[in-house]
Amino acid sequence: MGVACRGCGKSDLPVVLSLGSTPLANALRSASELDVPDPRYPLDVALCPACALVQLVETVDPTVLFADYAYLSSFSDTMLRHAQAYAERVLQSRALGANALVVEIGSNDGYLLRHFRQAGVAVLGIDPARAAAAAAERAGVPTRTAFFGRDLADQLVGEGIRPDVVVANNVMAHVPEINDVVTGVVRLLKDDGVFVIETPYVRDLLDRLEFDTIYHEHVFYYSLTALRALLARHGLRVIDVERVSIHGGSIRVTAAARGRPNDAVFAMMEEEAAWRPHDPETYAAFAARVDALRFELSGLLRERKASGRRLAAYGAAAKGTTLLSVIGVGEDVLDFAVDRNPRKQGRYMPGTKVRIYPPEHLLEAMPDDVLLLTWNFRDEIMTQQAEYRRRGGQFIVPIPSPSIM
């Protein structure tokens, strides 16, 4: 028997994309670890033709992935602005006041919940990453360092915690036991509460060729069709949906035990029916385009290196690990990488031996070209690096096709 769907249980799912074996995307290396080979895991993507859920074939133990999680959301100005607008939208739509409670699953460093707290709403964050949870506590956001599921939900209910809103912002892609998580949400929510999910949209991933957003932490890639089926199995109805631009294109879905879907839900379901999210052929064309891009980008970088140009990378992000692994580029092409997160600086990108420096190192070293691995924050980074560009430095944007800025 082949792989079974983690959502609905259907067996023998077809594999629609294979990106080979790659290191864990956020498993940054220290100098003392460089002589030890990076553990690698297959990065194969399967589709469930029954419920349309796109998912990885291989599951890596979440305690390995998230216990020492280096990513902190607050190091992106774009994410901070997005979080503030997100919170304001929920505060207004749900008319949340001083007696309300918002719980966030995967709350990271409190970058989102702090806005609810500043509005006078009680909050509770839940996140398994110790460093992120500690940063949230320092920011005044109460946080439980734990994985969320049915057992934790029952514990919280036993403590009298029943939120008006449960938020899952960029977390539903990360949790392998997805039915356990949704069961926990249903048990935790007030009877008239809502579950708000924001997650990257698989249609944008395909349309914009965002193959580098596929890595082992992202077990799932959602359409509205797939999310609606998942939630319905647990008695939740999708009552609202909107598309947002963050992370290369996402959807924000509101679900509740009561209420009717609005016009936006019906409209997107009609669009997806024409797009055919259940059909493996929808993904076959994407796989062919990925193969073409990987050879084009690798060739471009190697040609520029061979011509004597010095190359670096901006953003030691998870997507950067996937991209460099898939195109086969490392320290043979890139002299170094830079990143704003101090927890990443001085370490090395997984599988590449590319050392990570603070962004100021760009002006000190002045490479000719910088591969923009965090292309989803392009506008923010272009503004921050205006002086590097003024001095003649160029950025190479890899997605959806290589372009030089």
Q: Is 109 a domain residue?
A: no
Q: Is 66 a domain residue?
A: no
pLDDT of residue 73: 57
**Global confidence as pTM:** 0.90
pLDDT of residue 120: 94
Measured distance CA(148)–CA(64) in Å, rounded: 16
pLDDT of residue 314: 97
Structural contact between residues 264 and 242, judged by C-beta atoms closer than 8 angstroms: yes
Structural contact between residues 206 and 282, judged by C-beta atoms closer than 8 angstroms: yes
Q: How far is Cα of residue 275 from the mean position of the Cα atoms in its chain? A: 23
Q: Is 204 a domain residue?
A: no
Q: Is 362 a domain residue?
A: yes
CATH number of 370's domain: 3.40.50.720
Which residues of the chain carry a pLDDT beneath 50? 1
Q: Is 279 a domain residue?
A: no
Could you list the residue range(s) of the whole structural domain that residue 398 is in? Answer: 302-404
pLDDT of residue 307: 98
Q: Is 18 a domain residue?
A: no
pLDDT of residue 140: 93
Q: Which pLDDT tens digit goes with each residue over 28-79?
A: 999 999 988 889 999 999 999 999 999 999 888 777 666 555 555 555 777 7
Domain count within the chain: 1
Q: Is 247 a domain residue?
A: no
Q: Is 327 a domain residue?
A: yes
pLDDT of residue 72: 57
